[in-house]
Every structure is written in structure tokens, then in C-alpha cells.
Structure 1
């Protein structure tokens, strides 16, 4: 039986009080998970807190510009990792990278169709939820093309958790120990920070003009400016944490009780399909590692169906070939953003005709 949010204890509180409680709980949850070294803890903590508030009748909502701003910051953070080494890796192994990209996308479409058939999910939602890339980009693009963004978010982050856990296990069983972590600026650098804010503002303003533009524009523009020496990307830790919290809060506050029950009922299927996609990608990585004469861990992370940011963190922390990982992950992200809508529409139309 559903509960009317207008009669819940949280919904009766004044909006400023709701905001204060939400910020405190989201910040505390994010800090707790980060201190426990949980991957993407500063995102997951605020998202879980926001979901709890939404289910308790919270009436405040983050504006979409906060979500777009968070996307722009993540895009700029990813641009920081686009170096000449990444570009060289692209030019040296482009046939294998294209093969890996096409294969992974085809596998994700297949898994998405299986989710739609066996998991009782709408086809568009299932496919966008299964498509690897940046999770925030897939959520944004899925919403633009008729998918349920809340379910897409749940599917994306269930898979991200599975990928991160599997990546850590692969590193462990290969005897690789952690050396260092991907870091942001340790001290405030005002000139680079101001330049970064300008790039982020451009992403927010023009982000609606193309799918996932709020992430893609800062990623591309930031990479060009950094490679040409115009801008040294340096974002303070509190700022990146705020961006992750904004994305998590925006997604979490959109959940309601029917959505949570809907996701929980299908959670086993989501996990099984995620593990199937990871396993097939791992087998594909073995073949590509032989073709490229590269270590298996690097190729595994490069082809793994996780997000560019999370794979970059694991790559840096596990002594993998960061340039190769970022090059292949970035290529797949750009490919999905550019052709994903057409592929999803084409697949849905063909399946509808056969049904």
C-alpha cells in the first residue's frame, strides 16, 4: 500500500529544513563510503541518502542544471586523463580497438534484449541500462529517447559495482598490489580552477544541443585545451565531491516506492546479466591481449563494461597500461554517444516487427 508523501513526517517539514537534513545526510554518507574506500563512494552515498529521503516523503528536488553541472565536472575530470599517450595508443592499435568497441556494444545490445525478454523490462530501458559507457551519459541519453532514467540508473550502477568488484578480484589474483590512486588537485589553484569553471559553464549552456552534451563538450574541449597547453586541468577535491553528490542526489530524489519495488524485483536478473556481460568481455579481452601483445589486466580493464572514470581509477591503482585503458574506454564512450540512439532505435524496431 502506497503512502501519500504529503502526509509523511519529512514532507511536512519546511523546505529549508528538508534541504539542511538532506545535505547533512548526503555528505555524511558520501564521506563514510569514501573513508571505507568504496568505489564512487562520494556518488553512491548521496544517491542512497537521496533515495531514503525520497521514500520518506521528501518534497524538494534538485534542478536539472545541478545534474548537468555534475556531468560537466566529470567530463572535465576525464579530460584530465586524455594525454598524448592516449592518442598514441589509439593510433597504434586502432583495428583491435574498433573490433573491441563494436563487439562490446553488440554484446551489450544482446544482453539488453535478454533483459527485456526475461527481466520484464521495456526494451528501450533495458538496452540503455545495459549499454556500457559513462553511467551519467547513458542515463541522460536514455531519458532523451524514452527510457525510464531511474531504472537505467539502477541497471548502470548495479553493473558498475559488479565491474569494480570483478576488476579488483582480477588484480588480486594476478598478484598486483595497489600503488597509488587517481587524484585531483591537493591545493587550490585559482587560475586553472577558473579556466575549468569556464569549460564547465560552456558544457552546461550548450549541453542540451547533443546527447550527453553536458559531459561530452567539457570532455572534448578540456582535452583539446590541455593537449595544446592552454589549460592545466586541476579541480579541488571538494568541488569534484560536490559534483558527484549533485548527480547522486538528482538521481536518488527521483526514486519513489513503486520504482524501488520494481527494481528490487528484477535485481537478480540485472546482476546475472551484468555478470554475463563481464564474463564475455573478459573472454574477448584474452583474444585482444594476444593480438596486441599486451598484459591481460590492461586489456581486461580496457574492454570491461564499466564507466571510463571507474576503469581509469582501477587502472592507475593496479599498474595497468592507463593510456590503453583510457583510449579504448573513451573510444567506446564516443561511439555510443554518437551512434547509440540510432542503434537502439534500429534494434527496437526490428524486434517489434519480429514480435
Structure 2
């Protein structure tokens, strides 16, 4: 495999990514369209046949991920945040403090390096956390390993809670949605926002500007009614695949062995974070009168997209859930680099 020319390796990478990604999606595995390509790219890299993702293509995926986030930053979410801001502030600070504390312990016990431990434990959209971790010098391979380990565990628990509360599970994706043509005007406007965001990001000195600037532009344009963000599944699927390939191509045998040795500590940290979030959700139920499904999904350290799917299927208060998840995500994006450096410096002093 390692002697095959680059076009042949890329053909193998694409073909097996489609096969594994589709299989995982059929099994309703969270983030299947990212995990499948990531696993295939990692296996090929370990075998010495890694494919290098062009830098410009990877930055283009940043813009799409930024617009995907912007689509959830609605004016209704802001209204919900302002209405109950003390509750949201407490929830955000609790979950971020819990995840940072677990990251500190993982670094203190040498399970993972300092900044890598913090980004691996950081709650939020896994794809965005991996991209930001790479820009801050963390080992994105271990960050991805912990992020998706937690994502799967959090979604499994959320599905169990939804089943207990309503009898509903995670709905299967609708294959027909792939065949529906998008609104071409909205789609063209979306691509224009992404292009303008990347153009500005290339000319300003802002960490993760290729994600943050399109995200901010998309949120402003979307909420002003100037643009309807249109991201069809056939655009998101290759976007997830490129991010997966970028992370997976960095794996090698030493890092896999390290991840396996660290697995007990990572599992313990993941279980602790999910349990702490569930404990805070219980406090919301008792003292704020919020229903258990809404409270758990709002505090869940899983991905925003998975939480949204489960919440809509179970009839949760989606305004509350998305407001809490969005506020926490934005807080982590704003403070994550500072928290990671603080933890790394604290461990170094010891």
C-alpha cells in the first residue's frame, strides 16, 4: 500500500471512506460521516500510505463548519439566553469548570499532555474543537480520540434518557434528503458568505479566522434576513470527510499505542464528565422545574447536532437546549486557548 502512487491511494481513501461512513450512518453511529473517513485515513497512515489534505481545501472546510455553527445562532437563542441568563451562566460555568478540571487531572496524571487533555475534555462541537486544538499546538490525534469517545458515550446516555422519558430513540436519517435540490439562490449566497469570510480571514491575524470569521458573518447575515444559510447534505458529507482525513492522516503506530495505554484514564474521565453534567441536570429539574430530558440535553457534553436530533424526537424544550449548548460552545471557543495554556503552565510548574 505504501508503494502505491498518490492517485491510487486517494481512490482507496475515498472509496473506503464512503463505504465505512455509510455503514456507520446506517447503524446510527454519531458523527458517522466524519468518523468513517477518520478511521480509514488513520489505518492507511499507520500502514504508511497517508494522503496529505491540501491546506486550501482544509481551510474551505473550516468555513463550512463555521456556517453550520452560524445556522444555529438564531435570534431566538439570544432571546432565550437573555431571559434566563443567571441559569445559563451557571450551567455554562459548571460544565466548563468540570471539563477543565478533568483535563487538568488527565494532564496531572500524565494520561495526556496538558493542552491536549484540555481540548480533549472540552465540551462543544467535536469538529470545531479538533480544528481549534490543532491551531493551538495540541495533538489533534489524541484530542479526536477523546472527543469522539465522549461523543459516543454522551449520545448513548442521551438516547437512554430520551427513551425513558418519551419512549423515543434517535431517528434514522432520511436518505431522500440527499436527493432534494437546495434553494439555488440561498445556496449561492451561502457560498459567497463562505468565500468572503475566507478572503477576510486570509488578510487578518486571527487564530482560527477561517472558521470564526465565516461563522460571525453567517450569523449576522442570517439573523438580519439577508441570507438563508443553505448547507445540503452532499456538501456537509465531504466537509466532514476532509476533516476526518486531516486528523486520521496524522496517526501512526506510536500514537495508537499511546491511546490504547491511555484508554482506561480516558474512559474514567469521560464517565466522570457525563456523570457531573447529569448531576447538574438533576439540580435543574429539582430547583428550576425543568423537565428531565430538556435538563439533560441542555447540559450534555455531546455534540450540538446529536443533541438537537434527540431533543426534537423527544419533544424537549429546544429553545432552552440550544441556548445552553450554544452559549457553552461560544464560551469554550473564546476561553479555550487561555484555559489550555493555564492548565499546561500549572502542570509545568509542578
Tell me the TM-score normalised to structure 1 length: 0.90
Q: What is the aligned counterpart of 1:283 among 265, 279, 292?
A: 279
Cα separation, partners in 2 of 1:224 and 1:182, compared to 1, 3 Å: farther
Deviation at 1:348, TM superposition (A): 2.9
CA distance in 2, matches of 1:264, 1:59: 21
Q: Secondary structure at the match of 2:251?
A: coil
Moved more, 123-132 or 211-220: 211-220
Q: Secondary structure at the match of 2:30?
A: coil
Whether 1:122 aligns to 2:91 is no
Q: What residue is the counterpart of 1:311 in the other structure? A: 307
Moved more, 224-233 or 137-146: 137-146
Q: What residue is the counterpart of 1:193 in the other structure? A: 187
Cα separation, partners in 2 of 1:182 and 1:333, compared to 1, 3 Å: farther
Deviation at 1:199, TM superposition (A): 2.1
Cα separation, partners in 2 of 1:182 and 1:289, compared to 1, 3 Å: farther
CA distance in 2, matches of 1:106, 1:256: 32
Residues 155-176 of structure 1: CA distance to partner in whole angstroms, max 9, x if unpaired? 1111111111111111112234
Equivalent pairs, count: 345
Deviation at 1:73, TM superposition (A): 1.7
Q: Secondary structure at the match of 2:231?
A: coil
Residues 240-287 of structure 1: CA distance to partner in whole angstroms, max 9, x if unpaired? 111111111111111111111111111121111111101011101121
Q: Secondary structure at the match of 1:80?
A: helix
CA distance in 1, matches of 2:232, 2:132: 28
Which structure 2 segments of 5+ residues have no match? none
Whether 1:141 aligns to 2:137 is no
| Contact 1:285–1:299 (Cα < 8 Å) also in 2 | yes
Q: What is the aligned counterpart of 1:164 among 145, 150, 155?
A: 155
CA distance in 1, matches of 2:303, 2:46: 28
Whether 1:261 aligns to 2:257 is yes
Cα separation, partners in 2 of 1:137 and 1:179, compared to 1, 3 Å: closer
Cα separation, partners in 2 of 1:81 and 1:121, compared to 1, 3 Å: closer
Counting only pairs closer than 5 Å after superposition, residues 203-222 of structure 1 correspond to structure 2 as 203-207=197-201, 209-222=205-218
Q: Secondary structure at the match of 1:58?
A: coil
CA distance in 2, matches of 1:295, 1:332: 20
| Contact 2:70–2:215 (Cα < 8 Å) also in 1 | yes
Deviation at 1:195, TM superposition (A): 1.1
| Contact 2:197–2:217 (Cα < 8 Å) also in 1 | no
CA distance in 1, matches of 2:53, 2:144: 16
Counting only pairs closer than 5 Å after superposition, residues 21-40 of structure 1 correspond to structure 2 as 21-40=12-31
Deviation at 1:205, TM superposition (A): 3.8
| Contact 1:71–1:215 (Cα < 8 Å) also in 2 | yes
Cα separation, partners in 2 of 1:93 and 1:163, compared to 1, 3 Å: same
Cα separation, partners in 2 of 1:125 and 1:104, compared to 1, 3 Å: same
Q: Secondary structure at the match of 1:47?
A: helix
Q: What residue is the counterpart of 2:79 in the other structure? A: 88
